[in-house]
Structure 1
Amino acid sequence: MVTQEKKTCPFTSAMEKFVYTRWEVPYDLNSSKEERDNIRTQKRKEYDKLRRQCRRLLKHSKDGFNLNEVGRISCDGYSGTLTQDTDSPSSEDVVSARESLSSEERSPDIEYSERHSSARLEGVDSARQIPIADASTLDTDSSDSDSSEEPEVSHTFPSMEGTEENDPDMTSKEDSSPSMTEVSSKLHNNEDFASWQRIIRLDAVRANSEWIPWSPSQAAISEGRAHRSAEAVGLKDYDHLEPSRIFHAARLVAILEAYALYDPEIGYCQGMSDLLSPILAVMSEDHEAFWCFVGFMRKARHNFRLDEVGIRRQLNIVSKIIKCKDSHLYRHLEKLQAEDCFFVYRMVVVLFRRELTFEQTICLWEVMWADQAAIRAGIAKSAWGRIRQRAPPTDELLLYAIAASVLQKRKLIIERYSSMDEIIRECNSMAGHLDVWKLLDDAHDLVVNLHDKIEASF
């Protein structure tokens, strides 16, 4: 159980250290300071190479595209370019769920094409990869002022192979990074990156300001520096924003673009900016924030896969938790053809970011990361539960928390709701009204009682 005295979550240097060491590079315990510094320097160079590549692609894309014009680009809510098999019995539910996920994001100045959205759901994927041929010509563009600094990044972008050697758990199917071969094979269409750039900029400008109280140094950024940062990444239409939000938006653009090149199989989908924003509030250096995000996305990237395997697996776990805990509620969901739990789609994709406040999100994520770190340390195989008289660490704590949030509304769902759309609206209305500590207590209770049973079912 979570004790009351621990229910505060200020951003501190300790938090920054935790995020950095958890996600960026797990150093060898016997490494020297010089070796660690060398690794950091190398990682910074790799990030800088990706950023130069982004600037070249941005420059060339301006010849044929107006990055300030949305056109017909849509990412269908948080699932981005994820597709759904329209022959699946739950296809209509997926469409409904996705529409609800994106409804609060739409603003009057953005045109969302239903025709394009339909094509995406049918598996038409026209905005995913970047061509090797086109991109390679950019490396020799002598007009770029950065080209003389150091050799340009190769199209076999840096993988996390070295990291995985130190962390065997990272090689699993649900917790992986793109290999160098995979990255190289996915670079097909330069226009795709231009599409990602447009969407990234729109999402960056729309990012909220919840993070400001927790990052005083970034909140106090000067107007001049903010505008220089915005111009450096080609950000437009930000005059209505205060300097701190302009600076934050520019950092979002820089890192999300770099990630789209680093992992072109996933590219960029709406929702990724929600995952990156808390990291930016903690990390003041872009290259450090980038590698932390790369580590974070090793697991989260499966939320944005085209085949939706990662999302379906997680929704299936939530469904099993509810079924094991509350058969009455589960039978009601079956009657509504909602037992697949697509009504919690958004919660899964952005890791509760939209339902919790900024501070609550960090609290939940820290507990999740601590559980995952305990698993990597082998604690999950020890007598942890008996010794600590609490839930054993689990890699799926988020899913238990999501199931707990639904179970907290069981009476309302059973007595008042007669369609999945109504349940989706109820789940979306939870935003800002959840007690993260009660949620964690309930989630840990579920882990204590159901963990072994759920694990055995897979």
Structure 2
Amino acid sequence: MKALRRSSTSSGPTSSPPPEAASSPPTTSSAWVHLRSLLVVASSSSSPSVSSPLAERGGLKSPWSRRKRKRVLSAKQWFRLFSANGRLRDGGAKLLKRVRSGGVDPAIRSEVWPYLLGVYNLNSSESERNITKAKNRKEYEKLRRQCRLLAHQRNSRNSLTAVDELDFTGIIEVPPSPISQEVNPNLYFHIEDMKQLDIIEEEEDKTDTESSDSESSDEEDSDNVPLHSVDAEEEPKFTRTASVRDDFSSSSRTTEDFSTWQRIIRLDALRTSPEWVLHTLKQAEVSEEEASQAASAVGLKDYDHLDACMVYHAARLVAILEAYAVYDAEIGYCQGMSDLLSPIVAIMEDDSVAFWCFVGFMRKARHNFRLDEAGIRRQLKIVSRIIQCKDSHFYKHLEKLQAEDCFFVYRMVVVLFRRELTFEQTVCLWEVMWADQAAVRTGIGLSAWARIRLRAPPTDDLLLYAIAACVLQKRKLIIEKYSSMDEILRECNGIAGQLDVWRLLDDAHDLVVNLHDKI
């Protein structure tokens, strides 16, 4: 899919495939590439949505039953969940139950999401969270400095190439890059200054390590709940800033990779649709001067067609995505990641908190952006298996159309329904999904869910059950009217605005109840 293709293979703005490419029949060897190109085509002539209910629900209670759909976690309920020392009273089980049942009140999303995404431990006290927040802010600032350093190093090499034939050994003037202006637009660097910046960073790392030793020991003493260790074991080992410095400074290829990511990030940030973003009041009222300063700091250009709030939003996307590319150099940046970050930036006004929420989100979603696409293929197989177990007749029809691999839901998998749902629907789905993943991640298992009388176990793959439910809702239309995978693909790409997210979650939950032990 060109719009979501690995950015390191793209050298310019993404464009939709020509109509003839979309209509020509794929060969066996090119079917996968053909499919990827089709996934960006949103057919304006999609057939009307025809829903078909899932099979009998088996009589099990759904946490998204009609009487609970509007019972979001309110601000009043949120504050009641905490004890006097700022700790969640039951280790977060009730919080996850409430979010799982009805989502979160928009007014408190910025406070709740860091818990759902693992930024704060569910069993942490207020003082422990303050320590975590301070540490996270320092590390985010290090990552941003590293981004600027990489830009300076690249500009320095370009300058050295340009003056290679000149006879002087003094100071080399580096033309200020857009990112360097964030520090000082009139900076000049000796060649040795680059080494000194690395030395300063290393000394800061040592200082931070020494100062954090006592803090971490206090945290370990006060946080003796086993859930924390479960969480730490299950988190993937991302590349941290110390090793990232070595990776980027020792390899010109890696530095060029960052430059490529940086360029694609800026293009994608400016393409964000205003219809996909609902800002907080503070962000919506940002002035043109503030937006211009933010854009200049991260090198954004050609944004005159955008409102100030969207320019400011794009600048924040660039800063956070660049930092993530350094943080997780194995993944770097791929097109589609900006779609996942955009709602978080719209909700979170603090860049540091938004960054760490995104890190928590990407803990699982990062597999969607691996170069080998193994993560996506695994998820498509699970969707296929869910459909096969739930409706064998429908699955046989998909086999007849050579669509049983479910590649027609590729886009839904990669950007987690972002293109099919409105902003509010997207965040409702995501926070319910995050609550499930938090329950799995922190070890809140069968006993805890039994105590709160929630009959369906939490799952890491709620999104895949929701995707399968979406396809099953279209089963009658697909069986009666569609005779090719391309027709199913166009239907899936044309359902934006037609989905009831709570019905979708209700159906997904029923699939979990009936099939989780078979998948």
1:269 aligns with 2:334: yes
Q: Deviations over 1:295-332 (max 9, x none)?
A: 11111111111122211111111011000011111111
Which of 137, 145, 148 matches 1:52?
145
For residues 319 and 157 of structure 2, the distance between their equivalents in structure 1, rounded to whole angstroms, comes to 21
Q: Deviations over 1:239-286 (max 9, x none)?
A: 110100000000000000000000010000011111111111111110
For residues 271 and 210 of structure 1, the distance between their equivalents in structure 2, rounded to whole angstroms, comes to 16
Task: Work out which of the two has the higher radius of gyration on C-alpha atoms and give 1 or 2.
Answer: 2
Amino acid at match of 2:112: F
Indicate the SS of the match to 1:306: coil
Q: Would the aligned equivalents of 2:298 and 2:319 in 1 still touch at CA under 8 Å? A: yes
For residues 171 and 387 of structure 1, the distance between their equivalents in structure 2, rounded to whole angstroms, comes to 26
Deviates more, 1:44-53 or 1:234-243: 44-53
C-alpha RMSD of the superposition:
3.4
1:300 aligns with 2:365: yes
Which of 304, 312, 322 matches 2:387?
322
Q: Would the aligned equivalents of 1:47 and 1:290 in 2 still touch at CA under 8 Å? A: yes
1:141 aligns with 2:194: yes
Amino acid at match of 1:18: V
For residues 409 and 479 of structure 2, the distance between their equivalents in structure 1, rounded to whole angstroms, comes to 16
1:220 aligns with 2:252: no
Equivalent in the alignment of 2:114: 20
Superposition pairs of residues 182-201 of structure 1, within 5 angstroms: 187=248, 188=251, 189=253, 190-201=255-266
Q: TM-score, normalised by structure 1?
A: 0.73
The offset of 1:202, in angstroms, is 0.6
Equivalent in the alignment of 2:486: 421
Deviates more, 1:303-312 or 1:220-229: 303-312
Amino acid at match of 1:205: L
Gaps of 5+ in 2: 1-61, 73-102, 159-189, 207-215, 221-225
Superposition pairs of residues 437-452 of structure 1, within 5 angstroms: 437-452=502-517
For residues 129 and 451 of structure 2, the distance between their equivalents in structure 1, rounded to whole angstroms, comes to 37
Equivalent in the alignment of 1:40: 133
For residues 303 and 366 of structure 1, the distance between their equivalents in structure 2, rounded to whole angstroms, comes to 19
Amino acid at match of 1:141: M
Q: Would the aligned equivalents of 2:421 and 2:499 in 1 still touch at CA under 8 Å? A: yes
1:370 aligns with 2:463: no
Amino acid at match of 1:22: L
For residues 232 and 413 of structure 2, the distance between their equivalents in structure 1, rounded to whole angstroms, comes to 20
Aligned CA distance change for structure 1 residues 258 and 383 (closer, same or farther; 3 Å) = closer
Percent identity over the alignment? 62
Equivalent in the alignment of 1:166: 228
Aligned CA distance change for structure 1 residues 363 and 426 (closer, same or farther; 3 Å) = same
For residues 306 and 411 of structure 2, the distance between their equivalents in structure 1, rounded to whole angstroms, comes to 27
For residues 215 and 368 of structure 1, the distance between their equivalents in structure 2, rounded to whole angstroms, comes to 23
Deviates more, 1:333-342 or 1:199-208: 333-342
The offset of 1:214, in angstroms, is 4.5
Equivalent in the alignment of 2:10: none
Equivalent in the alignment of 1:208: 273
Q: Which has the higher contact order (CA 8 A, sep 6+)?
A: 2
Superposition pairs of residues 6-405 of structure 1, within 5 angstroms: 6-7=69-70, 12-23=106-117, 25-27=119-121, 29=123, 31=125, 33=127, 35-61=128-154, 140-141=193-194, 166-169=228-231, 171-172=233-234, 176-180=236-240, 187=248, 188=251, 189=253, 190-210=255-275, 212-382=277-447, 384=449, 388=453, 390-405=455-470
For residues 389 and 366 of structure 2, the distance between their equivalents in structure 1, rounded to whole angstroms, comes to 28
Deviates more, 1:177-186 or 1:253-262: 177-186
Amino acid at match of 1:53: Q
Instruction: Count matched residues.
Output: 375
For residues 340 and 201 of structure 2, the distance between their equivalents in structure 1, rounded to whole angstroms, comes to 32
Equivalent in the alignment of 1:134: none
The offset of 1:6, in angstroms, is 3.3
Equivalent in the alignment of 1:106: none
The offset of 1:381, in angstroms, is 2.4
Q: Would the aligned equivalents of 1:417 and 1:423 in 2 still touch at CA under 8 Å? A: yes
Q: Would the aligned equivalents of 1:212 and 1:218 in 2 still touch at CA under 8 Å? A: no
For residues 111 and 511 of structure 2, the distance between their equivalents in structure 1, rounded to whole angstroms, comes to 30
Q: TM-score, normalised by structure 2?
A: 0.65
The offset of 1:237, in angstroms, is 0.8
For residues 139 and 10 of structure 1, the distance between their equivalents in structure 2, rounded to whole angstroms, comes to 52
